[in-house]
Amino acid sequence: MLRIAVCVSGGGTNLQAIIDAIGSGKISNTEIVRVISNKKDAYALTRAAENGIGAVCVSRKDFPDKESFNDALIQAVDEAQPDLVVLAGFLVVLPEKMIQKYRRRIINIHPSLIPSFCGNGFYGLKVHEAALARGVKITGATVHFVDEGTDTGPIIKQKAVEVREGDTPEILQKRVMEQAEWQILPETIDEIANGELLIGMERKH
Ligand code: GRF
């Protein structure tokens, strides 16, 4: 059974997609062992509670400095003893110590086709605003391993979504979520849970 901890900051629609996929069997052999939010008012916490999933909030406001916040975040993850950490709309720069400790065991969903519209400052609606401003005809979403950079880790899965005439950032975001994010994140988790995608340190030859 793959133990996953899901880190969230907002609405939790990607968390919901994972919950629904486990419920329908699209994801097998997997258990969400903890939801971790950095925002006390994240609706994702309500989704966790409604589905009987243990959740904790680690808010930067509750700590005197970044270091103690980082330590609390790592502790919240460690306590859950996850095999895999899933960043699902998590708007926190992970501490290097965590990335090293969970090398190739942290994945992120980003709402564009990396390397387009990613990196510092590209999150949420801003990603879709940039795509519309550039006039791309195709955008999409990417699942990637998390490394020390921002949206720079090895790409695992991508799915393209068409941009339509008259799209607003909100309309485009919804299409990318429905047609890409909510598909490729559960697919990736299921592949990891069933050994089709290996995680953790690559075996040295
Ligand atoms: C959305 O912009 C989504 O594209 C990205 O994070 C944001 C919030 O997602 N992955 P969620 O609804 O909290 O999962």
Kindly report the pTM of this predicted structure: 0.97
What are the per-10-residue average pLDDT scores of the chain (205 residues)? 98 98 98 98 98 98 98 98 98 97 98 98 97 98 97 98 98 98 98 97 61
Count of domains in the chain?
A: 1
Q: Is residue 85 part of a domain?
A: yes
Taking the CA of residue 9 as reference, the ligand 1 atom at the shortest distance is: 13
110 is known as an active-site residue = yes
CATH at residue 147: 3.40.50.170
3-state secondary structure 148-173: CCCCCCCEEEEEEEECCCCCCHHHHH
Spatial distance between the Cα atoms of 188 and 129, rounded to a whole number of angstroms: 27
- The residue among 121, 119, 73 whose CA lies nearest residue 95 is 73
pLDDT of residue 203: 57
Q: Is residue 129 part of a domain?
A: yes
Instruction: Name all residues whose Cβ lies below 6 A of ligand 1.
Output: 8, 10-15, 44, 88-89, 109, 111, 124, 177, 181
- The residue among 81, 105, 80, 87 whose CA lies nearest residue 198 is 105
Q: Is residue 117 part of a domain?
A: yes
Q: Is residue 199 part of a domain?
A: no
pLDDT of residue 204: 54
Beta bridge partners of 32: 4
Q: Whose CA is nearest to atom 6 of ligand 1?
A: 89
Range(s) of the domain holding residue 16: 2-193
Is residue 110 within 8 A of residue 120, CB to CB? The reply is no
Taking the CA of residue 127 as reference, the ligand 1 atom at the shortest distance is: 2
